[in-house]
Structure formats: C-alpha cells, structure tokens
C-alpha cells in the first residue's frame, strides 16, 4: 500500500499532537522490554552505531546500548523521549552510549552514519510518509551495515471491522516493494512472516503475525 493510501485513511490530527496526546494520557504505553524478534535477529550482529526510528519509550534502543551499540532513538513525542531518557538513566547508560532525540521523522534528514537502522512497528494511524522515512534512514547505513524492520502483517486474531479500518498490514513482499532499495546495493538476508502467541484483551489465547525484514548494505 502506498503512503497516499495511508493518508487517505488518516485522522486530521497533526502527527505530533496525536502521538504526544497518546503518550501523555498514560504513565506507560509499552512493556519496557525490547522486542523479542529484534533481540533474536540483531544479537548476532557486531555492535556499532545504531539508529532506532520511532523509538517510543526506548526499550529497543536501551537493549542495543546495553549490548555495546552506540544507540540513538528518535521519536516525535516529547513525553516518550522523556521516559526513554529516564529509563536509560535507570539502566546506568552514559550519554556516550545512548541518546534520544525528539524529531518528526517526516521532516527529519539524518546525516550521521550508522551500522544498523531499526524500526519496530513504524506504522501510524496519522499521516506518515513511511517509505520516504525509511529510505532516508537507509541511506545513512555504511557498507556491511543492516536495515531491520518489524511490521504488522495482519490484524490481531480478535480484531474485526472498525478495529482495523485504515490500518496498513504489509507482507514481506510489500515491505520490500515499498522500500524500493537498489538491489545492486542491498541484499535481503531475511524476509518472512512470523506468528507469535499473545493474550487477547478478553484474556483468551490469540496470535499476531509480524513481517520481519533484514537487509544488508553491500
């Protein structure tokens, strides 16, 4: 699906306002644990400089920093970044090891070089030029470095009707097509759908399907 399709279904709320309101309305949105798939896929990689797009409350970036990466987390919501910075302090991580930045990814043009760019569920109910954001970030990856993406591949097993209206669900093939990266420069190391077991809001067993893509810059 194109970014135009996403904008056609997006609420009129400005992205910065939408996400700040969402984070400010609760003491915590996420679990505070790193994404298990990111841990599994990224753990074997040699640490270097990492960029986490849409870092939220910082769990993935903190995990990277604890494993030797020099990590930068970027998010549009100041409340999310405040929590991420507090979590990094609690983890006793130095400014040299990790930093968090408030930026609207739609307007941001990163200039620093990276060995890893990650984006876990960088999908938005408000306007986001996702393909452009990912391509700009990918352009900062040095040869031998990686781009790692986790994306919702399907609705939750319990969700129907209005619960999923306007949401984007990408297969591995659609993810690669949206990225549209030069195949002479990028090698696909992983492109698959993974199913994980979770608990539905009503307490019953449920599943989620994720698209997982790992690309390596040649």
- Side-chain-side CA neighbours of residue 178 (13 Å): 24
For the CA atoms of 187, 63, 66, 119, what is the dihedral angle to 10 degrees? Answer: 40
**Predicted local confidence at residue 161, as pLDDT:** 65
| Residue ranges making up the domain that contains 42 | 3-217
Q: Closest by alpha carbon to 54, among 75, 72, 34?
A: 75
Mean per-residue pLDDT pooled into runs of 10, the chain (218 residues): 38 85 91 95 98 98 98 98 98 97 97 98 91 98 98 87 71 97 98 94 93 98
Asked whether the beta carbons of 121 and 151 are under 8 A apart, the reply is yes
Instruction: Give dist(CA 210, CA 149) in Å, integer.
Output: 10
Asked whether the beta carbons of 140 and 114 are under 8 A apart, the reply is yes
Asked whether the beta carbons of 73 and 84 are under 8 A apart, the reply is yes
Asked whether the beta carbons of 103 and 74 are under 8 A apart, the reply is yes
Q: Closest by alpha carbon to 6, among 156, 167, 171?
A: 167
Count of the separate structural domains present in the chain: 1
Instruction: Give dist(CA 147, CA 134) in Å, integer.
Output: 9
Asked whether the beta carbons of 76 and 104 are under 8 A apart, the reply is yes
CATH of the domain at 172: 3.40.50.150
Instruction: Give dist(CA 37, CA 71) in Å, integer.
Output: 18
Asked whether the beta carbons of 106 and 128 are under 8 A apart, the reply is yes
């Amino acid at each position: 699906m194109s970014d135009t399709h996403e904008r056609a279904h997006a609420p009129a709320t400005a992205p910065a306002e939408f996400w700040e309101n969402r984070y400010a309305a609760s003491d915590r949105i996420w679990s505070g644990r790193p994404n298990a798939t990111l841990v599994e896929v990224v753990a074997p990689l040699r640490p270097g400089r990492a960029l986490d797009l849409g870092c939220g409350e910082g769990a993935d970036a903190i995990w990277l920093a604890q494993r030797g990466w020099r990590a930068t987390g970027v998010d549009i919501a100041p409340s999310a970044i405040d929590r991420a910075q507090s979590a990094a302090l609690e983890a006793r991580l130095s400014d040299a090891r990790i930093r968090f930045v408030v930026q609207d990814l739609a307007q941001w043009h990163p200039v620093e070089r990276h060995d890893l760019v990650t984006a876990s569920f960088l999908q938005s109910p408000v306007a986001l030029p996702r393909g452009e954001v990912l391509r700009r970030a990918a352009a900062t990856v040095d040869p031998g470095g990686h781009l790692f993406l986790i994306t919702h591949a399907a609705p939750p097993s319990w969700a129907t009707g209005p619960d999923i209206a306007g949401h984007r669900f990408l297969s591995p093939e659609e993810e690669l097509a949206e990225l549209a990266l030069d195949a002479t420069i990028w090698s696909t190391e992983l492109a698959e759908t993974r199913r994980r077991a979770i608990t539905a809001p009503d307490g019953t067993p449920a599943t989620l399907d994720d698209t997982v893509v790992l690309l390596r810059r040649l």
